[in-house]
Amino acid sequence: MKVLLATDGSVHAAHAERVAASVAWPPGTAIDALAVTDIFAVDRDIPLAAVTALRREIDRQTDDHLASVRVALAGAGRKVGSRRGSGRPGEVIVEEAAAFGADLIVMGSRGRGFLPSTLLGSVAAEVVDHAACPVLIARTDGVHGLVLADDGSATARSAADVVTGWGAFGSLPHHVVSVTDLAVLTATVDPVGMGPFMDQRIVDSLGAQSRRIATEGADRLVAKGIRATAHATQGFVTPTLVEVAARNEADLIVVGSRGNTGLKRAVLGSVARGVLFSAPCSVLVVKAKE
């Protein structure tokens, strides 16, 4: 397995570093830590010598940080390396992941930029949108339990298969969550906005479907020797997934999403994007190829 850890020395990147160091990656895993020096404009009035000295100092600090990260990542059966890149961070991370043949990118939710009120920074959002491999946005210092969002689709099953196939989280409790979506339910039972009328047969049918999806998903994991629990519930999908994760002390939500659509920008499904922007815990997005 190949894991690319993107770090910039920020407090948010520290979460990603600790997650990458703590996960029980399978033997033979290669982890490369990547630091990207952003291109910055240079005032023409600044002497060239001062600019050169500044760039040299940035490179020195970057190398020192990468050296400390390599030490933290070291472990039996792992091959740990590092690399430096230069350019737009999101673009460079995606390019380096492709060049490395990464199976997973691990990074923090935000970098050193401004607008700290937003839960997902522009670089993280760009990487999730464009990366060909799964991306883990770390907001905690480890992974002790997983929520697997399952809507019965091939995309959701593929995401579960990818994550369990790594073997890195096999010893952790998995919570398979299927949500009867209130948004869809409302549109189904009240399509023209005539009031609170609700056909109980529809509600019961959708609830039974959610229970079947969650049970079958958990059973597939149990057959692989993984501790798994089925959760079928009703609500709006994104907050419900977050609530189930919090209630079960799961610090990673795994969501499948649509993959490349032929456009340059990969389009994420609304649930994946909603969880990315609202979950206080870590989020792993696995895009299915179309």
Query: What integer pLDDT is reported at residue 116 of this predicted model?
Result: 42
Q: Following CA atoms 281, 89, 267, 140 in sequence, which dihedral angle do they give, to the nearest 10 degrees?
A: -10
Query: What integer pLDDT is reported at residue 288 of this predicted model?
Result: 79
Query: What integer pLDDT is reported at residue 199 of this predicted model?
Result: 65
Q: How many CA atoms does the CB half-sphere of 230 hold within 13 Å?
A: 18
Question: Where in the chain are the domains?
Answer: 2-138, 146-288
Query: What integer pLDDT is reported at residue 290 of this predicted model?
Result: 57
Contact 36, 5 (CB under 8 A): no
Pick one of 3.40.50.620, 3.30.465.10, 3.30.360.10, 3.40.30.10 as the CATH number of 146-288.
Answer: 3.40.50.620
Do domains 2-138 and 146-288 share one topology? The answer is yes
Contact 206, 212 (CB under 8 A): no
Whole-number Å distance between alpha carbons of 289 and 89: 24
Q: DSSP letters of 2-56?
A: EEEEE--SSHHHHHHHHHHHHS-PPTT-EEEEEEEEPP----TTS-HHHHHHHHH
- In terms of Cα–Cα distance, which of 280, 13, 6 is closest to 147? 280
Domain 2-138 part of CATH 3.40.50.620: yes
Q: pLDDT truncated to tens, each residue of the chain (290 aa)?
A: 999 999 998 899 999 999 999 999 999 999 999 999 875 655 557 787 877 787 888 889 999 999 999 999 999 899 999 999 988 899 999 999 999 999 999 999 975 544 444 457 789 999 999 999 999 999 999 999 999 999 999 999 999 999 999 999 999 999 999 998 877 666 555 555 545 555 677 778 888 999 999 999 999 999 999 999 999 998 889 999 999 999 999 999 999 986 444 433 344 578 888 999 999 999 999 987 65
Alpha helical stretches, state H, the chain: 11-22, 48-73, 89-100, 122-130, 154-166, 182-189, 200-223, 237-247, 270-278
Whole-number Å distance between alpha carbons of 1 and 250: 24
Query: What integer pLDDT is reported at residue 188 of this predicted model?
Result: 54
What letter represents residue 147's amino acid?
V
- In terms of Cα–Cα distance, which of 245, 185, 243 is closest to 210? 185
